[in-house]
């Protein structure tokens, strides 16, 4: 995933990095918290375009949980992507 367009993402802000963005089984409360962060994110549209153009089978992206277990409409059998250390998701200085 090209993350240049995602620089400054709200999920990368220090106050939000503790949310379970890549949890396989986030609570309903955590999903609601993450959705609120995404709703006010300055790069939400770019994130939605990225996730729509990639085989995304894990994590919380563009306001939605993309885990196969929670989103059964996502075809299974694809490798689950990792989301740690994605360049470009750093907080802009």
pTM for this one?
0.67
Q: Which residues of the chain have pLDDT under 50?
A: 1, 69-87, 92-93
Rounded distance between C-alpha atoms, residue 93 and residue 85, angstroms: 17
* Sequence-separated (6 or more) residues with CB below 8 Å from residue 7: 43, 88, 89, 90, 92
Q: Distance between CA 28 and CA 51 in Å, rounded?
A: 21
In this structure, the number of other CB atoms found within 10 A of the CB of residue 89 comes to 20
| 62 vs 43: CA distance, rounded Å | 9
């Amino acid at each position: 995933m090209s993350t240049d367009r995602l620089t400054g993402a709200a999920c990368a802000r220090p106050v939000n990095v503790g949310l379970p963005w890549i949890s396989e089984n986030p609570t309903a409360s955590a999903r609601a918290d993450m959705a609120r962060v995404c709703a006010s994110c300055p790069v939400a549209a770019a994130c939605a375009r990225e996730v729509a153009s990639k085989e995304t089978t894990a994590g919380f992206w563009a306001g939605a949980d993309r885990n196969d277990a929670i989103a059964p409409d996502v075809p299974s059998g694809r490798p689950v992507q990792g989301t740690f250390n994605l360049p470009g998701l750093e907080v802009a200085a």
